[in-house]
Structure 1
Amino acid sequence: MTSTNGTGTHGAVIADTAADQADGAIVELRNAGKSYGNIRALHGVDLAVYPGKVTCVLGDNGAGKSTLIKIVSGLHQHTEGEFLVDGQPVRFSTPREALDKGIATVYQDLATVPLMPVWRNFFLGSEMTRGSGPLRRLDIEKMKKTADEELRNMGIVLDDLEQPIGTLSGGQRQCVAIARAVYFGARVLILDEPTAALGVKQSGVVLKYIAAARDRGLGVIFITHNPHHAYMVGDHFSVLRLGTLELSADRSEVSLEELTNHMAGGAELAALKHELSQVRGVDVEELPEEADLTAPVAGGGEGKS
């Protein structure tokens, strides 16, 4: 059963039923916020990430998604509220500390070297070696074999691991980055707009591997501005608007239409229609009262329906 309250400044927050299961959360933010001097970028945000669940964080530009990523990934420290990992309060100083706790982030630029082979990028910064002292050298064959096995475990089959990773499609590079994070022990995987620059088919490929990561028991934070992509694989949805939490709801509590309406800012569009009605020569009769919930968003793919 859902309930509403006035927590958000731009809309109702549906009660987070997952809050009742807080003991099982890998990562949890409680009333968290971040200020940069007099600028309050994030305020009063609650978020819980569970193993085997995809938590989707949606919001327009400037909503606070990037700030939230930086707090969880260890780039910035929160200035309000609590940040807990496995139920224990933490305050990361570096992304390495977050990684040591099993929190891995895949950014849009993927942190890959385009001209290096796929297997080399898979182990970039964490290369396998053999021998010792002056005879120590890269264990190339073992890295190639391991990279191939791990990619296949995620359902990713590449004909040639020697090909430069820059020759792969955007979707394939995203999938390699996901498999890499899983191999190096990620328990929580943060994906920063992984489908933003992809077409329909490649978006589908990425969504399929997000679902695969979830099915392997990882907790996934899927950052996106596309409610259709989020709804395909998401188990819980958090919508940010101007740094505050506007919506927090499990999949069973919200429909795609409602999610799209919150994401698009239905109240703001209704107010805009009223303002446009005062402008001479503008016909607003055909405009919807709220967000156009039936208009398709570019993108699609496979995942949990």
Structure 2
Amino acid sequence: GRWSKLSENHTSLTHFYFHPFSTVPETQLLLFWTFLVLYLLSLLGNSVVVFIVRTERSLHTPMYFFLANLAALEIAYSCVIAPLTLANLLSAQKVSISLAGCGTQMFFFIFLGGGDCVLLSVMAYDRYVAICHPLRYTTIMSWRVCVSLVAGTLGMSSVFGIQLSILILRLPFCGNKEIDHFFCDFPAVLKLACSDTHIHQTALFIISAVILTAPFLLVCVSYAFIVAAILRIRSASGRQRAFSTCSSHLMVVLLQYGCGSLIYLRPSSSYSPEEGRVVSVVYTFVTPVLNPLIYSMRNKELKNALSRTLRKEVLSQ
């Protein structure tokens, strides 16, 4: 009882501050407007994808079901990071966050970011079944299987999020309370702990390997089979159509896994706060904007559905 009381007090008393991007107010203001525009574009783009997939009956297929779930995760993911970052950029004083608040942000970041990565590998598997086993596609990728895959993805990433958040909440913090980052990222917060963090670093590496390496390997295996199957297609138009449905997914995969690996799959001794901030800006602000753009630009069905919906809206008004 006494230990839990002390732990509660420690959790509520510890407050962190975020390291500013710049000490020049004009630079902070420029970054604020840049990040705000990116945040609003990501909300708009991903909301449009979710809306189009929900309303267009022709898009009620496993591929678009996964795409809509990916877009919904991106919306939630942006909302976890962007508002606090924008408040910090605009505020004259440093905005503080409690240890409990930090742990909560960390949980949602790992839960949603991890879900993103695993869902991309599920989408690669879906493409593999569609191209390599087209006659059995509807049987293999039934709605029950699709829902189970999404539920399993979210369940697994939430477990990892809880584990890492609890590890952080139990750490003692003394002295410097400034996080050298713009959100509560695990490696940046870990640097402030005044106790041995080898267990925490090992846990982060194992979880990162499961969330990043395992899905990426699954994507690579899926695409090896996909490329082999596409090369066997006789008609040039058939090959082109198959490649175009996969190329957009591959672009998103390389962005997501590339950025994640740079931060989480490296020794903690080589962690650079400056590099961490720059790479994190890419996957927290830039990637959520690019995902719907990449998919909609490279996807004919999605573009046609969007133009049909816009025409309906114009005619109804």
* TM-score, L = length of structure 2: 0.22
Normalising by structure 1, we get a TM-score of: 0.23
Task: Looking at secondary structure, tell me which structure has more strand per residue.
Answer: 1
